[in-house]
A and B are shown apart, each in its own frame.
Chain A
Amino acid sequence: DAGITQSPRYKITETGRQVTLMCHQTWSHSYMFWYRQDLGHGLRLIYYSAAADITDKGEVPDGYVVSRSKTENFPLTLESATRSQTSVYFCASSLLSTALISDTQYFGPGTRLTVL
């Protein structure tokens, strides 16, 4: 049972380069989320997706692009990386039922991204 995985786990890149972080979940959860974790800020939502081909902005979406062509994958792309995007990125998924009961978010192990 793989659950939710992220790749790569560590990435170093340079300013201006495009970077894609991958997220894959095996639970068929409908909702998926991308967060960034920075000291002093906790976790902040970048983008989320309610289903395949449905995405929406979170609190800090600028500089990021997402897509969701398949339910199980939710890649996050930094189109032109900046130093301020150095962070730890977490993907999460959730089975949000109409009864709003099973809405716990389950997190991947994270990707530590450094932009030089």
Chain B
Amino acid sequence: AQSVAQPEDQVNVAEGNPLTVKCTYSVSGNPYLFWYVQYPNRGLQFLLKYITGDNLVKGSYGFEAEFNKSQTSFHLKKPSALVSDSALYFCAVRDISDSGAGSYQLTFGKGTKLSVIP
């Protein structure tokens, strides 16, 4: 079974400061990892994903995420936060080693609300 943990329900950061939204995962094989963002009353928007290769993945809107296999983490980062980054962020995982019928399912974390303070 695969699972995702986002240990912080809310993260507050001052505008211009670096931000980190944490994510840890558990899979029996190798993971595909994703970050999505949800703005109020909107659907989820894809930010970035890790499949293989370079552990640092760059995505939309200046976000990046670092895959750490030993710590089973995939933290989302941005060097300088904007007020417009305030939203709900979801980490998701899929076990690419699972060849069963459910192998295309994404498992999402519960989400982290990011508030960027002007």
Contacts and interface: CB of A to CB of B under 8 A. Distances in A.
Interface stretch (B11-19, B77-85, B108-116): B108-116
B49 interface: yes
A96 B104 contact: yes
B45 A107 contact: yes
Tier of interface size on chain B: 20 to 34
Contacts of B106: 33, 45, 105
A107 B104 contact: no
Interface secondary structure of B, over-half rule: mixed
A90 interface: yes
A92 to B, nearest CB: 8
A41 B110 contact: yes
Interface of B: 32, 34, 36, 41-46, 49, 51, 90, 94, 96, 101-102, 104-106, 108-111
23 contacts: A35-B108, A40-B110, A41-B110, A42-B109, A42-B111, A43-B44, A43-B90, A45-B106, A50-B104, A56-B102, A58-B105, A92-B44, A94-B104, A100-B96, A101-B51, A104-B34, A104-B46, A105-B34, A105-B46, A107-B36, A107-B44, A108-B43, A109-B43
Interface of A: 31, 33, 35, 40-45, 48, 50, 56, 58-59, 90, 92, 94, 96, 100-101, 103-110
